[in-house]
Amino acid sequence: MRTITLLTLSNVFMTFAWYGHLKNLNNRPLVVAILVSWGIAFFEYTLQVPANRLGYGRFSLPQLKVMQEIITMCVFAGFACWYMGQPLKVNFLRFPHGTLKGIAWN
């Protein structure tokens, strides 16, 4: 459970690092957006690296990757809808649902 929690939190940080500047820093110089994104990404790594270390062994490497991708799509769907004001579409949720099978198979 700690692995999933840490991966989820790390994905929240990384989603903001990758896309948050589109809303908050759109009128600022590119270098500012890059530096802010790097600063946010630092915190993502402080969560993601321990998540993978804790999870490896309990989960296989492919399972960790598939789990991370599912979490990424779910976090992105929430971010796109609630933070960026984009309409939530079924396509956001089809990918995670379909790849859940990948965790079970590995």
pLDDT digits (tens, 9 = 90+) for 33-60: 999 999 999 999 999 999 999 999 999 9
> Residue 97 has what pLDDT?
59
pLDDT-derived band at 13, boundaries 50, 70, 90: very high
pLDDT at 30 over 90: yes
pLDDT at 18 over 90: yes
Three-state SS sequence of the chain = CHHHHHHHHHHHHHHHHHHHHHHHCCCCCHHHHHHHHHHHHHHHHHHHHHHHHHHECCECHHHHHHHHHHHHHHHHHHHHHHHCCCCCCCHHHHHHHHHHHHHHHC
> Residue 88 has what pLDDT?
83
pTM above 0.85, yes or no: no
The domain limits of the chain are 2-105
